[in-house]
Amino acid sequence: MTRARSWLLALAFLSLLASKPVLAVSPSYVMFYGGSLSAPVVQQLYPAPQFEFLWSPFRSGHEIPKSLEGRPYVKFAIFWGRWNEVPTKPEAACQHGRLYLPTASEPGIVVLTDTTMDQPGADHPDARPIPDNLSGFTHVWKMGPSELATAKRLGVPGV
């Protein structure tokens, strides 16, 4: 009986090694586009806390201020999961945001859509539409100095 149990455990272990993970739990790429950018800037992301200011809804405020209307921003797309190739179109992302550039009197602000990890076994979630106005975003928060510095390192102009 112990020999059969050993074989069963070995078989279970080998099947775990051969199976592919259901889905990565972090973004793989971020793409900045629009605004003053002449071409999209795509950055591969590694799990690190300094990038979370782009997608962490746990920092979210309650209501997106109407005062953002007309203020300059750069759009960004977040590509969750595994991507075999570098994404080239923001429409392929499952999460979208805007980074409102800081002004002399206002801080930098991030607005973000929700994302849904709803395709078990897929390499990455399905694309979600890009909102065309502020009502399409559900999360908002202010950026601090270290986050602005990180955004600058990622290639965001105007920060």
As given in the structure block, the two tokens for residue 126 are 């399905």
Tally of helices (H runs) and strands (E runs) in the chain? 2, 6
What is the count of structural domains for the chain?
1
Residue 54 lies in a domain: yes
In a domain, 55, yes or no: yes
Q: Which two tokens stand for residue 40?
A: 């999209």
CA dihedral 46, 38, 95, 62 (to 10 degrees): 100
> At residue 111, does pLDDT exceed 90?
yes
- Mean pLDDT over 1-29 rounds to 53
C-alpha distances in Å from residue 22, one per residue of 8, 74, 78, 123? 23, 32, 19, 7
- pLDDT tens readout for residues 31-63: 999 988 889 999 988 766 677 778 776 776 778
Q: Determine the pLDDT at residue 19.
A: 44
pLDDT at 25: 58
Is residue 81 domain-resident? yes
Residue 12 lies in a domain: no
Q: Say whether pLDDT at 64 is over 80.
A: yes
30 lies in some domain = yes
Domain that holds residue 64: 23-153
- Rounded mean pLDDT, 4-14: 49
In a domain, 106, yes or no: yes
Report residue 89 as tokens: 């179109």
- Domain assignment present for 77: yes
Residues whose CB falls within 8 Å of the CB of residue 44, separated by 6 or more in sequence, listed in order? 28, 29, 86
Whether 66 is covered by a domain: the verdict is yes
